[in-house]
Amino acid sequence: MALNKEVLKYLKISRGQIDAIIRMVEEERYCVEIANQILAVQALLKKANLNILETHIKGCVINSFEQGDSSAKIEEVMSILDRYIK
């Protein structure tokens, strides 16, 4: 599976924001500011994850259907979605 530029963009922005959050904690910044930044990173990671799952479904899962061996791929996706929802 080839990761696309959008996923890499989300991950790199997340990395930068996490570094900023660490500095905020070290500087003992206002808790609500820190919490808001953490939520922003979570949203970016969620977007990246959904993009990766979409790529997987459109590639690997469809391919497994075409080859007649889809049950394992469906279980993989269902397992991820189950964890995603919780």
Side-chain-facing half-sphere of 51: CA atoms under 13 Å: 16
Condensed to tens digits (0 to 9), the pLDDT of residues 3-52 reads 688 999 999 999 999 999 999 999 999 999 999 999 999 999 999 999 99
- What type of residue is 71? S
Assess whether pLDDT exceeds 60 at residue 1.
Answer: no
Identify whether the C-beta of residue 52 lies closer than 8 Å to the C-beta of residue 7: yes
Band (pLDDT 50/70/90 cuts) for residue 2 is low
Class of domain 5-85: mainly alpha
Residue 18, pLDDT score: 98
Using N-to-C axis directions, what is the helix angle for 5-26 and 31-56, rounded to 10°?
A: 160
The average pLDDT across 49-67 equals: 85
Q: Provide the residue ranges of all domains of the chain, joining segments of one domain with +.
A: 5-85
CA–CA gap between residue 42 and residue 35 (Å, rounded): 11
- What type of residue is 82? D
The average pLDDT across 51-70 equals: 84
Higher pLDDT, 67 or 1: 67
